[in-house]
């Protein structure tokens, strides 16, 4: 059984993961409106991944006999100044999630809950990948931002992202 402090912290992280899914779905819609279908597809995949992350935590709570408390999901932003601004927002959000996962891990350590610590190791590794992906896209955009043809080529590459 998970103690109440850790149960509450896991439920809060579940909410953050579902918000992440909403945020990336909102970004997908934004990219659709500006004609960058590849970036939109990338964001759709990202949105689905974030939902899967939330479900990993939900399943862990269930397996341990803990209570799931779904809270309201905040409305995400819907407009950005451009593709670079949107991907900078992705990186900023992923850094926030990394910090949140780290804080949750510290709670698990303090509560001596090894199963949660083990589960969160996966999330910690995933966050390294998430931040790197966003940083790499930002780096590419910084080099080509003022060249419309190059932006479209990058958009095409983003559209090739697999699940």
Digit-coded pLDDT (tens) for 67-118: 999 999 999 999 999 999 999 999 999 999 999 999 999 999 999 999 999 9
**% of the chain residues with pLDDT over 90:** 85
- Give a yes or no: residue 69 inside a domain: yes
Number of domains in the chain: 1
Supply the pLDDT for residue 148. 74
Token code pair at residue 5: 């402090």
Residue 99 vs residue 147, higher pLDDT: 99
Sequence-distant (6+) residues with CB within 8 A of 8 are: 69
Domain that holds residue 11: 4-158
**% of the chain residues with pLDDT over 70:** 98
- Give a yes or no: residue 115 inside a domain: yes
- Give a yes or no: residue 163 inside a domain: no
- Give a yes or no: residue 52 inside a domain: yes
Supply the pLDDT for residue 25. 98
| Whole-angstrom distance, CA of residue 59 vs CA of residue 95 | 24
- Give a yes or no: residue 70 inside a domain: yes
For residues 36 and 154, is the Cβ–Cβ distance under 8 A?
no
Largest CA distance in the chain: 56
- Give a yes or no: residue 146 inside a domain: yes
Supply the pLDDT for residue 58. 98
Give residue-wise pLDDT tens across range 19-29.
999 999 999 99
In whole numbers, what is the pLDDT of the chain averaged over residues? 94
Give residue-wise pLDDT tens across range 32-79.
999 999 999 999 999 999 999 999 999 999 999 999 999 999 999 999
Supply the pLDDT for residue 105. 98
The confidence band for 151, taking pLDDT boundaries of 50, 70 and 90, is confident
- Give a yes or no: residue 32 inside a domain: yes
Q: What is the CATH number of the domain that holds 93?
A: 1.20.1260.10
For residues 161 and 41, is the Cβ–Cβ distance under 8 A?
yes
Supply the pLDDT for residue 163. 54
- Give a yes or no: residue 148 inside a domain: yes
Does the pLDDT at position 152 exceed 80?
Answer: no
């Amino acid at each position: 059984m998970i103690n109440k402090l850790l149960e509450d912290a896991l439920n809060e992280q579940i909410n953050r993961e579902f918000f992440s899914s909403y945020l990336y779905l909102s970004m997908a819609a934004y990219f659709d409106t500006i004609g960058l279908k590849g970036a939109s597809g990338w964001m759709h995949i990202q949105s689905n991944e974030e939902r899967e992350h939330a479900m990993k935590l939900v399943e862990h709570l269930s397996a341990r006999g803990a209570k799931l408390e779904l809270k309201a999901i905040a409305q995400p932003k819907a407009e950005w100044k451009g593709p670079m601004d949107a991907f900078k927002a992705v990186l900023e959000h992923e850094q926030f999630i990394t910090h949140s996962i780290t804080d949750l891990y510290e709670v698990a350590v303090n509560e001596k809950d090894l199963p949660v610590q083990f589960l969160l190791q996966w999330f910690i590794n995933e966050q390294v990948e998430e931040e790197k992906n966003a940083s790499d896209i930002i780096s590419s955009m910084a080099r080509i931002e003022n060249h419309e043809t190059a932006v479209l080529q990058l958009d095409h590459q983003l559209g090739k992202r697999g699940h």
